[in-house]
């Protein structure tokens, strides 16, 4: 059964706001004459610029913003981040793109920085000579 038909079923509507948001997006698109196929084609077109592989990394929000901007430009209408995530969910398992604990630990790791001793000595020499 196609995804769009499944979204219209009473069971899908009862699953929560995610499906309701998607239905709202479809209704809004249909009311403006934009077909679902056109939307998906524009999203796939955007993947050439904003690589989906980066959705898993620290640049996730920038890629999401880029996809939103691309869709808005190409389809002449506004999209919320949640709506774009709904569309992405049709192509990817977004749960797998969430950073795991190891990746979060790596990103949040803080390390004290200090210049090498040779550079510090050079800076001191320049201060003394000036």
CA distance 13 to 99: 29
User: Could you tell me if residue 120 is inside a domain?
Assistant: yes
User: Could you tell me if residue 102 is inside a domain?
Assistant: yes
| Helical pair 17-31 and 81-89, crossing angle rounded to 10 deg | 100
Q: Report the sign of the C-alpha dihedral through residues 77, 83, 84, 86, in that order.
A: negative
User: Could you tell me if residue 99 is inside a domain?
Assistant: yes
Instruction: Give pLDDT tens digits for 3-45.
Output: 444 443 444 434 445 555 556 666 665 555 557 788 888 888 9
Residue 89 contacts residue 40 (beta carbons within 8 Å): no
Instruction: Give pLDDT tens digits for 55-79.
Output: 877 788 899 999 999 999 999 989 9
Q: How many domains does the chain have?
A: 1
Buried b (16+ CB within 10 A) or exposed e, 83-108: bbbbbbeeeeeeeeeeeeeeeeeeee
User: Could you tell me if residue 23 is inside a domain?
Assistant: no
User: Could you tell me if residue 12 is inside a domain?
Assistant: no
User: Could you tell me if residue 7 is inside a domain?
Assistant: no
Length of the chain counted residue by residue: 130
User: Could you tell me if residue 17 is inside a domain?
Assistant: no
The model's pTM: 0.51
- What domain range is 69 assigned to? 40-129
User: Could you tell me if residue 20 is inside a domain?
Assistant: no
Residue 96 contacts residue 53 (beta carbons within 8 Å): no
């Amino acid at each position: 059964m196609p995804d769009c038909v499944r979204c219209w079923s009473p069971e899908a509507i009862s699953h929560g706001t995610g499906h309701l948001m998607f239905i709202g997006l479809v209704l809004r698109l249909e009311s403006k004459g934009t077909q679902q196929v056109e939307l998906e084609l524009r999203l796939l077109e955007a993947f050439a610029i904003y690589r989906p592989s980066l959705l898993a990394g620290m640049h996730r929000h920038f890629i999401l913003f880029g996809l939103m901007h691309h869709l808005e430009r190409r389809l002449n209408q506004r999209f919320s981040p949640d709506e774009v995530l709904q569309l992405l969910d049709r192509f990817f398992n977004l749960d797998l793109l969430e950073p795991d604990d190891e990746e979060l630990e790596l990103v949040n790791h803080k390390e004290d920085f200090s210049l090498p001793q040779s550079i510090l000595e050079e800076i001191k020499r320049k201060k003394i000579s000036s």
